[in-house]
Chain A
Amino acid sequence: MFNHSINNNARYGLDTVRCTKMGEALMTALRNGVQGICGVAMGAALFLFPAVHANAQEVIGGTLYGDMGLVSQDMLSRAASDGNNFLHTNGNYNQTRYYPSRQIDTGNVGELRPAWIFQTEVVETMETTPIVVNGVMYATTAFNHVYALNAATGEQIWHYKHNMGPVTTYCCGPNNRGVAIYDDRVYMGTLDARLVALDAKTGKVIWDKEIADPELGYSETMAPTAVNGKILIGTNGGEYGVRGFVKAFDAKNGDLLWTFHTTAENSVGVWATRDATGRDMLRDVAAEKAALKKMGDPYKTLGGGVWQNPAVDLASNRIFFVAGNPSPDLDGSLRPGDNLYTNSLVAVDLDTGKYACHFQYIAHDVWDLDAVSPPILVDVADASGKMVPGVLHGGKTGHVYVHDRKDCSLIRYSEAMVPQENMWVLPTKDGARMLPGANGGVEWSPMAVDADLGLTYAINLHQPMTYHVESSPYPEGKLWLGGAFKVIPNEAQWGNVTAVDYNTGKIRWQVKTQQPMIGGILATAGGLVFTGEGNGQFKAYDSETGSLLWKFQAGAGVNAPPASYTVDGKQYIVVAAGGNTQLNYKRGNNIIAFTLAD
């Protein structure tokens, strides 16, 4: 048996009517959904299907071997080699999203079947990465629900529904990307800009603190990061004239320990006229300098949201994160200067939040091509071919950027993974067409790494847009784009999955997809990568070659990052299928766990 049990199993006594109905629904779903691979799992899945009861259940952590419910710092630190749990949104502190178990591999992935499907009560965009510890899964939904599930059966243990305040802010859907787990608690940021600590066993609130004032445009969609007694979290708000930050809270009581503001009080910088790849961004530096003289440094409403997890470098005691676009997105006239540290990779000290280094990809961005996808720490070849500690970031520009971890400097950037046209044409009143569109390239979707192959895996969008600029003063916490982005209705849109050799910058393989891709990707030691699509397909590819090895139709957009875990000797792959608000993919409410047919 695995290391925990569910209290009062008897209370899960089967409700015949309900189960029959659910069974029928599941049969239909499986008939419609599984592409020729149903058979064996179907019967089992019927019995494993979660019977949802109102009675709150508890996770029982105590075992013969001690209290396995507790997640120690040591467990979090060695998560990269933990073949049972999935403890971080991006797998481990290096954020490689590489799962070390190889039970499911290139040879048997064709036998992958749904083990169970859990339906949440929220049919809306899902971007959660399930966290799994000792056989218990913690997953979130839109509008900040948290579910604790039996990871082997899909049975619900508890359900927490955040009591949302009337003021929420989000540009791109009521998303939530999951919880952080630390000790005996799970932590979630909310759309009304609060940080909530829940008892991992019961789902009861331990503390609930405001991170920032939601009326000013602050909100949370990212999963927090837990490390050394701290809960780290950034903020959304790059479309609302916020002042971005990363904050560290005390895991015990929610006290604020430090704040790093992503817009520096001197945000002017060096008046860089070229982007990270050397292309001219057509800045009118003279006009900007005149504006700066007139209006002063714009740092207070300059945006710079951080809405994906930082990577934690335990060796140097630094965290690495990317800061998003300046506010207003399209109108640079109100924010002269380089707008530091927007659109940058930034490193700060874990204990103090003090600045360590940064690298800005696009100074004074007017295209919303911000840095979003979470950075990955991995050893990389430097310019001379020597392996050094590095940092990877997948850009909305369509490049993977490779950095030296010691000073954030750029070592190389990859070939473009999507078409680039008219870079950098300035936005106009009537709209200027430029590729990529403002969603990327690589959107927030986390990449994965297989360090043995020296490859990083990115999912991309090709979504042509026109960029329109129109200046307006800060509208008091309201959406502040400084114009509009418009998807060009008659142009083809598509996506791709791309493997990039980060030691050379060359694309190793690339697979086109029917729709622009958003959600994330997982690599495993079984030689596989898993990723989902807006059309409901969830797919496994050979990570070395890009060969498609398996697929499953989930019935709603699969636009969340997959995870993997092992319970009682069985490896599972899990993913949420809830569609996506930003790209308007079909909504659903399923969390689906797969395992090999017996």
Chain B
Amino acid sequence: MTRQVYLSALALVCMLALSGTGSARAESVPPPEIAEQVELCSGCHGTDGVPVTEATPIIWGQEEYYIYVQMRDIKAGRRANEIMYSVVADLSKAEMRALGKYFAQRPWPSTSFKAQEGDDAIAHRMASAGQCAQCHLSAFDGDSRVPRAAGQLASYLEKTMLDFKHKRRMNAPDKASLLETFDDQDIAAMARYLASLQAH
């Protein structure tokens, strides 16, 4: 599929998604220079912060610098993602920084996701071995260049960890080295545990 077709398809999704919502809250009106991009992003990432597909991450309330770095890396080919590439390929650094800031300032949405029994024990064991809280902090809410994982979609978290493990995602190489040492069931449990951390 060509890039134009992707963008048209995304725009359509976006229009459909937006048509179902009321007027945007005043404080969430994006600056005019990125308004068009925000509309495009919302097609998949959601007009209320809840993504429209399970493979799409929550970016409302995500760390500002992390959002920018992901766009930067996708544009530079360090993180492979065809759809996102077509979205960010022509964006300037200033636009990407502005998008990062805009989405970081939106409230993180609740998904009411519940973990399974036993997930927390597995997650704590993994976090202890992998020293996860050193960067993601004890509440897994991240900071700056480290993403918030708490309350993220379980499906996206699991896919991301497996993508690192199997070297499909390459822009944080040390995550691959670490996740290679964990098995898939434990990764799934960790994803559910993190997704269930809703209360903040």
Contact = CB atoms under 8 A, between A and B. Distances in A.
Interface of A: 124, 166-174, 431, 468-470, 472, 475-476, 478-489, 581-582, 584, 587
B171 interface: yes
Interface of B: 64-65, 69, 73, 78, 100-101, 104, 125, 127-131, 133-135, 137-138, 143-145, 171-174, 176-178, 180-181
A582 B134 CA distance: 5
Contacts of B137: 124, 173-174, 581
B174 A487 contact: no
Nearest to B176: A470
Contacts of A173: 134, 137
User: Chain B contact residues: over half helix, strand or loop, or mixed?
Assistant: helix
B171 A478 contact: yes
Contacts, number: 87
B181 A431 contact: yes
B174 A479 contact: yes
Nearest to B179: A484
A188 B65 CA distance: 23
Nearest to A328: B174
B134 A581 contact: yes
Contacts of A174: 137, 143
Contacts of A468: 177-178, 180-181
Contacts of A470: 173, 176-177, 180
Given A472-B173, A484-B174, A172 B125 contact: no
Nearest to B145: A169
Nearest to B133: A584
B179 to A, nearest CB: 9
Could you say which of A166, A472, A486, A488 has the most chain B C-beta atoms within 10 Å of its C-beta?
A166
B177 A166 contact: no
Contacts of A469: 177
Contacts of A472: 173-174
Could you say which of A174, A478, A489, A581 has the most chain B C-beta atoms within 10 Å of its C-beta?
A478
Contacts of A167: 65, 144-145
B64 A166 contact: yes
Given A166-B64, A468-B177, A478-B171, A581 B133 contact: yes
Contact of A489 (B69, B125, B138, B144): B125
A475 B173 contact: yes
A478 B172 contact: yes
B176 A166 contact: no
Nearest to A329: B174
A166 B173 contact: no
B95 to A, nearest CB: 15
Given A167-B144, A475-B78, A478-B171, A485 B134 contact: no
7 contacts: A173-B134, A174-B143, A470-B173, A478-B172, A482-B174, A584-B131, A584-B138
A478 B138 contact: no
A483 B179 CA distance: 10
B141 to A, nearest CB: 11
Contacts of B128: 487, 489, 584
Contacts of B181: 431, 468, 484, 486
A163 to B, nearest CB: 14
Could you say which of A480, A484, A488, A581 has the most chain B C-beta atoms within 10 Å of its C-beta?
A484
A468 B174 CA distance: 10
A485 B128 CA distance: 11
A485 B177 CA distance: 9
Given A484-B181, A486-B129, A172 B174 contact: no
A437 B7 CA distance: 50
A337 to B, nearest CB: 22
B174 A171 contact: no
Contact of B101 (A166, A479, A582): A166
A166 B65 contact: yes
Given A486-B129, A486-B130, 4 more contacts: A169-B144, A472-B173, A480-B173, A584-B138
